[in-house]
Amino acid sequence: MTPSHKALFRANRALIERLTPIDPALLEFEQQWVEANFAATLTPEQPTDLAQLRKALAELIAFEKDQAPDSVVYVANDMDRAEFKILVQEFALDGLTEAQVFYHLMPRLSLEAQMPMLRMMIDEFGSGNIKRSHTTLYQELLRELEMPVDLEHHIQVNGEAGCSFPNLFCWLTMRADDPSYFAGFVTYFETVVPFFFECYTDLCTRLGIQAHAYYSEHVHIDVFHALEGQRLLKAMDSGGHLDVGKAWRGICMGREIINAAFDAAVLKAQEMTRERQRHVERS
């Protein structure tokens, strides 16, 4: 077996579903990936207390709001339906297993810190209503686009970048040596989603996609999840369990991975269009 993110995703699912131990070679692959991303995203200055962490995060969020990448603009304004299907495919591994791995984090948190996480998870699973579960909403999107809803299909067709995104959450929740990495990243992620996902809702409006609730729900609910992330950081800090440096490294490392996954998915969709055009020209 050649170590890869696809193989690691399969191993993570086997561990979650059947308690199958992960091959040491895959764990070594994962550790090298994590360490490489830490090294690549290390900032010259790092926060040393919660107030500094919040200030650094606020500055990062303000920067991202003002600097929409070309890939985000393309999705909002120019991506067609065929390309959108590629984008949906590349994030299906996350959408079809949404938040399941969060359960593994809970025992690692103090009771006080579990409360904001629990409130986030209640929303992720539709407050116990299967029809509102975020995975169900993703399945509805797949069905409207006439795409398979079974996980195995999407494992087979997904690229490495698409597998790396859910693998990030698995490492953060199950194998990182400190929940602080996750606490930092999830607070960042829940804060950017409400404005980042607007490119998806704009696309759905433009293309007449009816099953847009997966995206529009996140634009709405993650405003509140961002507040819960702040409460998570506060609860961990008050209990003496927050490593601010690790929380910041989780933000920087996770940001790099999710941005790379999104850009790779958009590029894959655009390349499909270019290949289709070349085929027409050859004909």
pLDDT at residue 152 greater than cutoff 90: yes
pLDDT tens, residue by residue, 17-66: 999 999 999 999 999 999 999 999 999 999 999 999 999 999 999 999 99
Residue with tokens 């499909």: 272
Which alpha helices (H) appear in the chain, and where do they start and end?
5-18, 24-41, 50-66, 70-77, 81-90, 92-95, 102-105, 111-124, 134-144, 151-157, 160-170, 180-196, 198-207, 213-238, 244-282
pLDDT at residue 94 greater than cutoff 90: yes
Residue 36 lies in a domain: no
Residue 100 lies in a domain: yes
Phi first, then psi: what are they for 218, rounded to 5°?
-70, -40
Residue 210 lies in a domain: yes
Tally the domains of the chain. Answer: 1
User: What residues make up the domain containing 233?
Assistant: 70-272
Read off the CATH number of the domain in which 179 is found. Answer: 1.20.910.10
Residue 235 lies in a domain: yes
Residue 126 lies in a domain: yes
Q: 0.95 exceeded by the pTM? A: yes
Residue 30 lies in a domain: no
Residue 29 lies in a domain: no
pLDDT tens, residue by residue, 234-283: 999 999 999 999 999 999 999 999 999 999 999 999 999 999 888 788 87
Q: Kindly state the tokens that stand for 60.
A: 């990062």
Residue 57 lies in a domain: no
